[in-house]
Amino acid sequence: MAAQDTALVLEGGGFRCMFTAGVLDVLMEHGLYDFGSVWGVSAGSISASSFKSRQIGRTARIMLAFRDDRRFMSFWSLLTTGNIAGGEFMYEEVQNVLDPCDVETFNRNPLRMFSVASNVVFGTADYLECKSFPEDVAKVQASASMPGVSQMVEVGGHRYLDGGTTDSIPFEVALGADGARKVEGYDGAQRAVVVLTRDRDYVKSLGNEGLVLRSHRYDAYPYFTHALETRYLRYNAQRDLLFAMEREQDPRVLVIAPEDPVTVDVTGADGGALLSLYVKGRQQAEARLEEIAAFIGHNA
């Protein structure tokens, strides 16, 4: 079984990705790098970066160290920079100075990384391949720029916002499934490990997207407005399909999800809650370590 046969798919969720950080740290600690591609959505794209650069603990460390720094994520940042998550602070100062990404390892690693971002003009998901840092850091920022509280990020002449609006859990694209969007130069994996940040009983409602729609901020972009209106329907349908595949023991997917409802908010900054969620991610990965290793074809 070749590494390129397996994809790693990471849902977003802001600080809820502390669960993902726990899962990925355990995989890295045990040398489970047998993936051909990693697909990150929103904060999941940030987690994917640390996985590709093989930096154990970095994602959790950043979230814990800067959780209450107003430059990191705050309404002060929103008022002063136009981004609730401070772009310059996160993607320049933290990325390059305060807790730098190991760009040498990132750039040398053959693992293909895709950041999912929403094309605001067309209202569709784009899968932006991050081949090298720092050149492609803007693609990660585009994937993680939340609608209503972030400025659009321009990449390659296109305007982007958070990838979760258009493809929250891109396992179908990663698998190259029939009817799924095809990514140029990518043939599709035979199987995918999918890490979620919501428990299996969660059902999404219009929620935050409704608040963004009522702001009329994107009225000039009708396709994106429609994507916001229908996100919860597509998200619930994605999860229904994924869990149906899991119940049917479809050999193409292995799903890792929190066992209990996650109370940490997208912008939640309580250190104890974040650490607890990280530990739960670690516990899940450790409990299923042999299963994951067998699924991805890891040879000890």
**Domain annotation for the chain: domains and CATH numbers:** 3-296 (3.40.1090)
Residues whose CB falls within 8 Å of the CB of residue 96, separated by 6 or more in sequence, listed in order: 134
Q: Confirm whether 42 is a catalytic residue.
A: yes
Q: What percent of the chain has pLDDT over 70?
A: 98
Determine the pLDDT at residue 145.
97
More confident residue, 275 or 270: 275
Determine the pLDDT at residue 85.
87
Q: Give the amino acid at 256.
A: I
Q: Would you place residue 1 in the very low, low, confident or very high pLDDT band (cuts 50, 70, 90)? A: low
Burial 78-108 (b: 16+ CB within 10 A, else e): beebebbbbbebbbebbbeeebebbbeebee
Mean predicted lDDT score pLDDT of the chain: 95
- What average pLDDT score do residues 45-61 get? 98
Q: What is the DSSP string of 235-291?
A: HHHHHHHHHHHHHTT-TTEEEE--SS-----TT---HHHHHHHHHHHHHHHHHTHHH
Select which of 37, 42, 45, 168 is catalytic. Answer: 42
Structure tokens at 194: 């999918």
CB atoms within 10 A of CB 249: 7
Q: What is the DSSP string of 63-91?
A: HHHSTT-TTTBSHHHHHHHS-SB-HHIII
Q: What is the DSSP string of 106-175?
A: HHH---EEEEEEEETTTTEEEEEE--STTTTHHHHHHHT--TTSS--EEETTEEEEEGGGT-SSTHHHHH
- State CA 23 to chain mean position distance: 13
Q: Let me know: does 277 contact 197? Beta carbons within 8 Å.
A: no
pTM, full prediction: 0.96
Q: Is 243's pLDDT higher than 70?
A: yes
Determine the pLDDT at residue 247.
97
Nearest-angstrom CA–CA distance, 223 and 242 = 26
Determine the pLDDT at residue 58.
97
Q: Let me know: does 144 contact 162? Beta carbons within 8 Å.
A: yes
Select which of 143, 162, 167, 168 is catalytic. Answer: 162
